Amino acid sequence: MPDIRPSDTEKSYEKAAIRKIQVQMAQRILQELALSDSSFVLDAGCGSGFSMESANAISKNVFGFDTSSELLLVAKRKGIKNLARADFESIPFKENVFGAIISISALQWFYPKDKHDVKDHYAVIAKEFFRLLKSGGKAGLQFYPATEMEWDIAVKCFRKLFGGYIIEEGDGRKKKRYLILEKK
């Protein structure tokens, strides 16, 4: 019989405090994106599925991907469907399909191997999101960059392809920044 005990990774991602923060951020972005129940939504870096659970309450067409097979298994155990194993630079979905892309606390885990490639890294991700979104589609991103310079680079890369705005809430360690994008 297979071992079905939760792993350390699963336990850490299911802690109540982390779950609460993740769900709040997902709901904040989903509110900003104003989705319809027929919207096709992609959760980029879905992890164990917190954001997908929130998105599924709005739309029944929610898809997610993550690089971690272990976290995808956690999501599957929760009954979450439409999952794929992939990275941000090569997302396995057709172009112009999604009305929305959300990404909560994920981009910081997909850092380029060479620190000098940060600009290229975010440029590739921006192009992938642009490819996947339909005209008029929106994306809501929240992540914790290593430096302020990394945040600025990411914002510049996304703004080359998208319109949009930044929402800043809170101060100090509780500060959250959301990048809201729209494909024209």
Q: Indicate if the pLDDT at residue 173 is higher than 50.
A: yes
pLDDT tens readout for residues 100-125? 999 999 988 876 666 668 899 999 99
CA 150 – CA 154 distance, rounded (Å): 6
pTM value is: 0.88
pLDDT tens readout for residues 28-71? 999 999 988 889 999 999 999 999 999 999 999 999 999 999 99
- pLDDT for 115: 64
- pLDDT for 5: 42
**Going by C-beta distance under 8 Å and a sequence separation of 6 or more, which residues neighbour residue 46?**
52, 64, 65, 66, 71, 72, 75, 83, 106
Q: What pLDDT band is residue 1 in, cutting at 50, 70 and 90? A: very low
Q: Indicate if the pLDDT at residue 182 is higher than 90.
A: yes
Domain ranges of the chain: 8-182
Output the average pLDDT for the chain: 89
CA 110 – CA 101 distance, rounded (Å): 17
> Any idea which fold 8-182 has?
Rossmann fold (3.40.50)
pLDDT tens readout for residues 128-162? 999 999 999 999 999 999 889 999 999 999 999 99
